Amino acid sequence: MPPYLSIVVPLYNEEESVEKLLAGILEVAKQFDFAYEIIFVDDGSQDNTWAIIEKLKETTPQLKAIKFRRNYGQTSAMVAGFDHARGQIIATMDGDLQNDPSDIPLLLTKLEEGFDIVSGWRKDRQDHFSRVLPSKIANAIISWTTGVRLHDYGCSLKVYRSESVKSLKAYGEMHRFFPALASMTGARVTELPVNHHPRKYGVSKYGFDRVLKVFSDIFAMNLIIRFSSTPLKGFAFSSIPFFLMTSFFGILAVLSWNFHWTSGKTLFFFIAMALSGMAVVHLITLGVLGELVVGTSDLSHTKLPRYKKIIMEKGEEQDLKNNQIDALSQEHSSDLNILPNKAGSVHDDTNGYA
């Protein structure tokens, strides 16, 4: 029987924390009345993290572990955990003891209220001011631009219905954006205040360059969320000012030509018109290329899972898991025989993404 819950923890040089971390999780897990697994992902640690995990594994059957060949980053480590998680629910947390496993049951209770993702909110965050301030600004911008309002995107302690994250194709430092990305597939997202402790052992794996990374990721994320389905629209929209400039300089050039203003002025207006006109052409061309790329990119709108449920021929509702559905929709779409449901309406697979 597959477990109900998979707890995924990325670990990079956390040798002092890993044993206490497992003990903490096992302690909380005593109150679970369901099967669970713990997945430690060693993200290419150079210290004894992996050796300790191997030793812990001997006495802990619920523990699974993945070791990366080198340091690929927290996002990749989390995605590896998702790929190997068998639970219907996936919880993620940091491995440095800053998150508190005793919050997991609370997050699960919240999830059962009918959400797909419950994100932890470190209301009383135990990090230096220089970390907290950029994070507050980033959260405000992410919330505002993606429309998924959370106080604390950066908190790793989150629980997900596995179908809402397994299909995400994340790269770079995108783990913090999972709620926003998942909401593209219709996931219902909420947050809950959680505990946060100061880092006791080891050091933070990030420096100031994270601020730059997060801000450039915010930009990339917005492009993906807003324009991944309609890149041409985005580029056409950004060409409007250049179009206006082209018209403006065009009118001036004609006036200048007609009324014999100085030849220098006429030339200037013609060149300005030509340059802004070229910008319009380039932007539209990029938009058209974007439309072609959308069909092949992993993050593109066309690859998002669409079906949540399908009522099949015999009238029995098949609550298919998203990855199965995804495979169905991509590999056997011609075999899918979707019939009218009881109410007589036909499930339309061309526009299932809302």
Binding site for ligand UDP (CB under 6 A): 10-12, 14, 43, 71, 73-74, 77, 94-96, 98, 204-206
Choose the contact partner of 263 out of Mg ion, ligand UDP, none; CB within 5 to 8 A by kind.
none
Smallest separation (angstroms) from Mg ion to the CB of 221: 22
Radius of gyration of the chain (CA): 25
For residues 83-142, which are near Mg ion according to CB under 5 A? 94, 96, 98
- In this structure, what DSSP letter does residue 302 have? G
Smallest separation (angstroms) from ligand UDP to the CB of 292: 34
Choose the contact partner of 73 out of ligand UDP, Mg ion, none; CB within 5 to 8 A by kind.
ligand UDP
Smallest separation (angstroms) from ligand UDP to the CB of 12: 3
Q: Output 93 or 325, the one with its CB closest to Mg ion.
A: 93
Q: Output 72 or 243, the one with its CB closest to ligand UDP.
A: 72
Q: Output 14 or 116, the one with its CB closest to Mg ion.
A: 14
* CA dist., res. 96 & res. 77, Å (int): 15
Smallest separation (angstroms) from Mg ion to the CB of 144: 26
Smallest separation (angstroms) from ligand UDP to the CB of 9: 7
Nearest residue to 156 via CA among 114, 115, 199 = 199
Choose the contact partner of 74 out of Mg ion, ligand UDP, none; CB within 5 to 8 A by kind.
ligand UDP
117-121 vs 189-193, strand pairing mode: parallel
* CA dist., res. 224 & res. 245, Å (int): 28
310-311 vs 317-318, strand pairing mode: antiparallel
Q: Output 130 or 302, the one with its CB closest to ligand UDP.
A: 130
Q: Degrees (nearest 5) of the Cα angle 282, 283, 284?
A: 95
Secondary structure string (H, E, C) spanning 138-182: HHHHHHHHHCCCCCCCCCCCEEEEHHHHHCCCCCCCHHHHHHHHH
Smallest separation (angstroms) from Mg ion to the CB of 199: 5
Q: Output 11 or 325, the one with its CB closest to ligand UDP.
A: 11
Choose the contact partner of 110 out of Mg ion, ligand UDP, none; CB within 5 to 8 A by kind.
none
* CA dist., res. 170 & res. 283, Å (int): 27
Residue 70 amino acid letter: R
Q: Output 217 or 326, the one with its CB closest to ligand UDP.
A: 217
Smallest separation (angstroms) from ligand UDP to the CB of 130: 12
Kindly write out the interface string for residues 50-89 of this chain, putting x where it contacts Mg ion by CB under 5 A and - elsewhere.
----------------------------------------
Smallest separation (angstroms) from ligand UDP to the CB of 96: 4
| Residues in contact with 47: Cβ distance below 8 Å, sequence separation at least 6, in sequence order | 13, 15
Kindly write out the interface string for residues 8-47 of this chain, putting x where it contacts Mg ion by CB under 5 A and - elsewhere.
----------------------------------------
Which DSSP string do the residues of 180-212 spell out, in sequence order?
Answer: HHHHTTT--EEEEE-------SS--S--THHHH
Burial 134-159 (b: 16+ CB within 10 A, else e): bbeebbebbeeebebebbbbbbbbbb
* CA dist., res. 176 & res. 210, Å (int): 12
Contact set with Mg ion (CB under 5 A): 94, 96, 98
